[in-house]
Structure 1
Amino acid sequence: MKLSLVHVIGAFLLPVVLAQSKRATNSSSFSTTGLLSSGAVALGDWDAAYQKAVGFLGQMTNEQKLSLITGSDVDALNWTALVMKDGTQGPNVYNYETGFSEGSAIVYTWDKNLISTQFSAVAAEFYDKGIQVAQAPTSQTLGRTPWSGRLVEGLSPDSYLNGIAFGLGAKAISDVGVISCGKHFLLNEQETNRQSSGSSTSDVAPYTSNVDDKTLHETYMFPFYDGIKNGMGTVMCAMTKVNGTLSCENENLLQELLKTEIGFPGMVTPDVNGQGTAYGSAQGGLDYGSSSYWSNATAIRNVIGYFYVNLNNGSQPASVSTSAYVDVRGNHSQVVRTTGSVGMVLLKNTNNALPLSKPLSIAIFGAHAGSIMVGPNYPFTVLGSGPVYQGHLAGASGSETTSFSILVTPHYALTTKALADGTMLRWILNDTYTAEAIAPIPTKRDLDTTTYGNDTGSSSSGGGGGDSFSGGTWLTQTYAGYATDASVCLVFINAMSGEGADRTELRNTDQDTMVNTVAANCNNTVVVLNTVGPRILDSWIENENVTAILYGSLLGEQSGNSIIDVLYGDVNPSGRLIHTIAKNESDYNVLRQIQCNPTLRIWVRFIVHNVQLLLRHCHHHQRNRIRMAYPTGILAVGGKTDFWDEIFTVNVTINNTGSLDGNEVAQLYVEFPDEADAPVRSLRGFEKVLIASGASTKVDFALRRRDLSYWDVVAQDWKIATGEYTFSVGASSRDLRANITMTLGS
């Protein structure tokens, strides 16, 4: 957002603001404006872009530089202001584009190649629409509370998993030639009370996240190291507060941590209402927005990303309006379909309920199975949404609103499949259906003169109970009536929320009642759930008639096809959870509030697996001798250079002892010495592998110095603790199959 805030620049500030010194100024105000020019940060791959930016700005007057940082064109130099759009699921609110899976959905795959592939495809559509900045990926909302309205955007509450996906996304977007804008920096963890009143001193709104130094580094900053190391050119600061100060005016966050500690060379841009005052935001480290305070360094940061991704080569098409017929979809629908199916998690599968194989009859239940009355898109809103969607939910709202050119629903996909298989379909596409019968009940005269199915005039209590006709298609149109005679019952449910308001529930009474009603009348009930975040399942997950559960995020335009691919076994459901599913709401132990204290440093995930694997061997190899507890390299983009050194490798051999080929996500967890004050175990590696039945494969986990370091609050640096480390590999944090220990330090 741009605020028209004009302040007279005092003479005492002018030299500080405009100076392009060879070393950082001693003043606390704008203390890092000289980082790029002074050589305090080794720019590496960014150096050529920096030199081009300096040359370009050397042609500008002061007035033109001010136009640049306020998002205006500079006609004299043929500079057109950068076009910036959300989001991870494709350019927000454009026509003739692909409706991609949401950010959380692609992380459910735990597949690094698929994560990169989708972000590359998304970036290509930004590029071809003439958009220079993709406001993606979204690391945070991280997930300190399951009630957060924007969990669907985030890339997992686990900082390591989040960081790997965040870095892959940043690199994929940059490689295509689009500037990646990571968000939200930092601790934008709930929607309630998020909105700023425009005052940086307000005690009512927005809320403040109060966090200690260790938690700030090890949990919330952790993913941004990955993003910046991998070419992120823009960072969006949040509209909320951290430790009592607006994020976009927070000198500690932006100047000291982001630009100095992580060595970020690019532009900091504000979220809506993130800029409270011109002076405060300029001093805090904001680079873009209406302000009379500026510096050469600020101007350089506005254009360095442009040169870094080679947008100056003249190849990008001109920007177009949201409604213009510029079709950028290509073959991206297949990317969406693959990502959606691979990202579904099989939470339960008893009695060989799945995969389906030409069932004689299927009964479909729930609004989530079919089309909404008007759709597929819904109006853009930042006022929250949900708690459920009365149609098939495949995309989010707010800044991550999916622009569907089409939407394949499960009902449509099942109809197509049933047509090919000869399966009989019935459906009730409603979560609260209560009518006894829509079709008229036949009279005695009807029974005397009409044949229904195989019955000739005699009523029967078979089928769905009451006045129904077993052996035919004339059944009482109720949940029970349609469930009783079906070979398989498919119940579709969802949970929706969106930007601007937090979730109001983690379960839904109507949907849970529907599941239990169907299961009471159908001993082969399969539940398909798509949700924006954790969804409590305890009211029916142990029901013996609920034979299978598929659980996932919002899958995009091919959602119905992706789900059917899994239901019928065309794709192995190899997704894994990215958050904890609790038994009760109280198990999460977090509340929505104005004073937030997110001291939890990591979340344990409960992750299912469907390949019977055996980890036989676990070995290690130390690549580089660890001579120093702290990194000693020079400061570079992404932190000190040796912070990223690979120093240790763990390798395992995995056998598939099952009867089917399948994918497994091998996960490496580390237990740190007590000195580190770390969680019981921390995820520090994962690899998704396809293993044939009876075959084996070797998996290597390369650990970097950062993976074995904790934040030393006294030394204010990352440190490798002295003591015993345990490295464990398995299918989840609760299913560890092999381990090895090693002592580091003296």
Structure 2
Amino acid sequence: MADIDALVAELTRAEKLSLVRGASDPEGTATGYLPGVPRLDIPPLRLVDGPLGIRAEGERATAFPATLATASTFDPDLARKRGAAMAREACAHGQDALLAPGANLVRVPHCGRNFEYLSEDPVLASDLSRALVEGIESEDVIATVKHFAANNQETGRTAVSADVDERTLRELYLPPFRAAVEAGVGSVMTAYNRVNGTHMSDHERLVGDVLKDEWGFAGYVVSDWYGLESTVGAATAGLDVEMPGVPSGPDDPDAEFEWPDGIPDGSRAGLFGEPLAAAIDDGAVSAERLDDMVRRVLGQMARIGLLDGCDRPGELDSERHRDLARDIAARGTVLLDNDGALPLADDDDVALVGPHIHEAKLGGGGSSETTPFHSVSPVDGVTARADGTVTDARGIPEIESVSLFDLLPFVDSGHDTQEGPDDEPSLDAAVAAAEDADVAIVCVRDASTEARDRDSLTLPGRQDELVEAVADANDRTIAVLRTSGPVETPWRDDVAAVVEQWYPGQADGAALADVLYGDRDPGGRLPVTFAPEGSYPTSDERRFPGVDSVARYDEGVFVGYRHFDANGDEPTYPFGHGHSYTTFEYRDATAVDETAVEVTVENAGDRAGREVVQAYVRPPTVEGIERPEREFAGAQPVTLDAGESRTVTFALDELAFSRYDDGWTIDSGRYTVEIGRSSADVRTTVEVYR
């Protein structure tokens, strides 16, 4: 491995500065680019967008499902495989660092980027963040966990301050990032927002003290694109790399252009160029700090073999990547309700209805947009699987898509627009098709993008009307949700089944058919709580979107299911919820020791199925301390044949036992471990003592 200290000693200051500030990629494919130093055989470093698949400009790649769909599997092994596959595709495109995973907690159900994130719970988010990082780094690609920290909304994201107490930061919003560091993540991206009044790019306590000193992070900290607020403040706080480092804006520099809310001013760039050199000259930033920045970048380049000229051919659009995308989409699909309508019979005559049934739902808008080599629409997937007749009807006009890139006309997303049929949709035709079919499937969707939060949890357009009309025409109507997170389902009592597919990616229709026809047991469970819009803790405008650019996190640790438990409110669908096509029984729960329990799970049905066995911890009561009623402590997915049983062992996450009070503490006493199918469906309990 290269001698980093020797390399740093040989670099001129101009060369050092070139390694901490982005430049234009001569190949035009990278999202971010450091030019390297040819004189010393230091190659360029290419960074590429990638939460849902590689977004290299003008290139194609496997379009994986939304990250939230991976979270819905509750399966770190599957997440690890996804991370490795995306890394191989990055290598195939000549990219070195992947701008993934997104590890922010789902605090606000309206957040435009929830589909890129992992959960409302810190233990689940940490397990998956760790696995994704391990997968990416296993293929000699630098993983970049983002957006550090407390980036939980897109509204006003470049200015809003997340005002959050230390306990809440430590227990909820920091653990997924710490897990990424423990997994060996090579890079951390700072968020646009402020935390307690200070922009994250300038946040010395969180970046310098916590991330680097306390957690021992040895990689480099990179700004979000145009997310650098100052030169001296960022450099002394611990930021190492400015991206993209070059200005962006309309082609005509004299054109009047007002940067939209949530979009950073792209004309502000180069703060780690001449301004940093000047700051070093006047002593505001030490020369040693610049050396540290460079050393961190070169250290990660050396770790993945770039400085040794290693060959990383990668793998692109392979059969195993296609199969993996389909596997994640199917296993991440959640069966929310089922009144016996599913699985479908092979010879059922099907009416497939919805404004976008002729295109795969690849993802949300923004930097995660991916262009696949091929995709499968719901019509194609169901038609290929069905033995009966499949009739399709859009019913209502298409839902207007939204994207960050629509707000920036001078930026090309690199993502192909999918065209639907030219004919005018007819609600009457959709109803007629439903009346003539054995079963009606209605596919509905939301519209979500980076830089914008959803205005409402109501499905956009006339989609609720469409579901109601089809349900009136056919008692066996199945509603398929393709959403970025929770949505309202006012018709759920009128349909026979409700399926949540998230954003399923390129394998959309094939994975949908796998689940609807019972070729795959619906293996997904909810990583977020579905509830009426006004019942979430962030329904108070002080908490979201905030007042005077301050979002107050005064709900504390009571986010998601913790909030509903504390208030005694019954959600529409609780955290961890999801049905199977078979039934499972739990028995013989015992404590192995103070940190582990085991339980026997039996498939009591007549077909194979996949269960996600979940554990929650109820803490002892401590006077003067408010704690959640229960905290998720881990899950074990298990696939069982009919009549098969298996003993499942849980190594309970310490975070579920701990609380933060000027340091981590575990209260002495009795903890009740609840084991079951969701946060609201406990099947058995066992006590442990700490």
The alignment's TM-score, normalised by the length of structure 1, stands at 0.75
8 A contact 1:163–1:224 mirrored in 2? yes
Local SS of the residue matching 1:406: coil
Counterpart for residue 321 of structure 2 = 332
Q: Deviations over 1:661-702 (max 9, x none)?
A: 211101111112334642111111111001222221011111
Aligned match for 1:285, one of 217, 238, 245:
238
Q: Does 1:726 align with 2:679?
A: no
Counterpart for residue 82 of structure 2 = 118
Distance 2:192 2:132 in 1: 23
Distance 1:222 1:584, change over 3 A: same
Aligned match for 2:645, one of 696, 714, 718:
696
Distance 1:667 1:138 in 2: 24
8 A contact 1:177–1:311 mirrored in 2? no
Aligned match for 1:86, one of 24, 46, 49:
49
Q: Does 1:487 align with 2:427?
A: no
Distance 1:489 1:318 in 2: 46
8 A contact 2:322–2:507 mirrored in 1? yes
Counterpart for residue 596 of structure 1 = 551
Distance 2:633 2:223 in 1: 32
Distance 1:479 1:63, change over 3 A: closer
Distance 2:187 2:505 in 1: 26
Aligned match for 1:246, one of 199, 212, 216:
199
**Shift, 1:656, TM fit:** 1.9
Gaps of 5+ in 2: 22-33, 243-271, 278-284, 399-425, 562-573
Letter in 2 for 1:118: R
Q: Deviations over 1:226-285 (max 9, x none)?
A: 111001010000111111111100111101111122111110000123211110111111
Counterpart for residue 165 of structure 2 = 212
Distance 2:655 2:444 in 1: 41
Counterpart for residue 388 of structure 1 = none
Distance 1:495 1:588 in 2: 22
Counterpart for residue 384 of structure 2 = 416
**Shift, 1:317, TM fit:** 5.1
**Shift, 1:59, TM fit:** 2.9
Aligned match for 1:427, one of 392, 400, 405:
392
8 A contact 1:665–1:687 mirrored in 2? yes
**Shift, 1:609, TM fit:** 3.2
**Shift, 1:477, TM fit:** 5.3
**Shift, 1:188, TM fit:** 1.0
8 A contact 2:352–2:392 mirrored in 1? yes
Letter in 2 for 1:730: G
Distance 1:703 1:417 in 2: 41
Alignment of 1:193-208 (within 5 A): 193-195=156-158, 206-208=159-161
Counterpart for residue 579 of structure 2 = 609
8 A contact 1:108–1:578 mirrored in 2? yes
**Shift, 1:56, TM fit:** 3.0
Distance 1:558 1:277 in 2: 43
8 A contact 2:395–2:429 mirrored in 1? no
Letter in 2 for 1:740: V
Distance 1:359 1:183, change over 3 A: same
Alignment of 1:189-588 (within 5 A): 189-195=152-158, 206-289=159-242, 290=272, 291-292=276-277, 293=285, 294-316=289-311, 327=316, 329-350=318-339, 352-371=340-359, 392-418=360-386, 421=387, 423-432=388-397, 478-508=429-459, 510-537=462-489, 539-543=490-494, 546-588=495-537
Alignment of 1:3-22 (within 5 A): none
**Shift, 1:58, TM fit:** 3.1
Letter in 1 for 2:392: W
Q: Deviations over 1:489-517 (max 9, x none)?
A: 11110112101111112112510100000
Letter in 2 for 1:192: T
8 A contact 1:84–1:134 mirrored in 2? yes
**Shift, 1:432, TM fit:** 4.6
Distance 1:283 1:557, change over 3 A: same
Letter in 2 for 1:358: D
**Shift, 1:328, TM fit:** 5.0
8 A contact 1:208–1:596 mirrored in 2? yes
**Shift, 1:223, TM fit:** 0.8
**Shift, 1:564, TM fit:** 0.7
Distance 1:66 1:587, change over 3 A: closer
Alignment of 1:664-683 (within 5 A): 664-675=611-622, 677-683=626-632
Counterpart for residue 640 of structure 1 = none
**Shift, 1:148, TM fit:** 0.7
Distance 1:592 1:693 in 2: 49
Local SS of the residue matching 1:162: helix
Distance 1:579 1:327, change over 3 A: closer
Displacement over 6 Å in runs of 4+: none
Local SS of the residue matching 2:607: coil
Distance 1:525 1:571, change over 3 A: same
Counterpart for residue 618 of structure 1 = 589
Aligned match for 1:101, one of 54, 62, 65:
65
The alignment's TM-score, normalised by the length of structure 2, stands at 0.81
8 A contact 1:672–1:681 mirrored in 2? yes
Aligned match for 1:685, one of 621, 634, 638:
634
Counterpart for residue 406 of structure 2 = none
Distance 1:402 1:577 in 2: 24
Letter in 1 for 2:371: S
Local SS of the residue matching 1:152: helix
8 A contact 1:398–1:498 mirrored in 2? yes
Counterpart for residue 68 of structure 1 = 19
8 A contact 2:88–2:316 mirrored in 1? no
Q: Deviations over 1:377-432 (max 9, x none)?
A: xxxxxxxxxxxxxxx422221111122222210111222234xx2x2232212425
Aligned match for 1:154, one of 98, 112, 117:
117
CA radius of gyration, larger in:
1
Q: Deviations over 1:293-330 (max 9, x none)?
A: 443222211122222333334233599xxxxxx95545
Counterpart for residue 566 of structure 2 = none
Q: State the percentage of identical aligned residues.
A: 31
Question: What is the total number of aligned residue pairs between the two structures?
Answer: 583
Local SS of the residue matching 1:399: coil
Distance 1:477 1:719 in 2: 62
Distance 1:212 1:521, change over 3 A: same
Letter in 1 for 2:518: G
Distance 2:672 2:294 in 1: 48
Letter in 2 for 1:343: G
Letter in 1 for 2:165: D
Q: Please say which of residues 578-587 and 212-221 is displaced more in the overlay.
A: 578-587
8 A contact 1:248–1:274 mirrored in 2? yes
Q: Deviations over 1:162-207 (max 9, x none)?
A: 1100000011101110000000000111111123xxxxxxxxxx11
Local SS of the residue matching 2:506: coil
Counterpart for residue 383 of structure 1 = none
Aligned match for 2:608, one of 636, 658, 661:
661
Distance 1:226 1:74 in 2: 33
Distance 1:278 1:476 in 2: 57
8 A contact 1:663–1:689 mirrored in 2? yes
Distance 2:296 2:206 in 1: 17
Distance 1:553 1:92 in 2: 20
Aligned match for 2:103, one of 130, 136, 139:
139
8 A contact 1:241–1:247 mirrored in 2? yes
Distance 1:522 1:330, change over 3 A: closer
Local SS of the residue matching 1:83: strand
**Shift, 1:614, TM fit:** 2.1
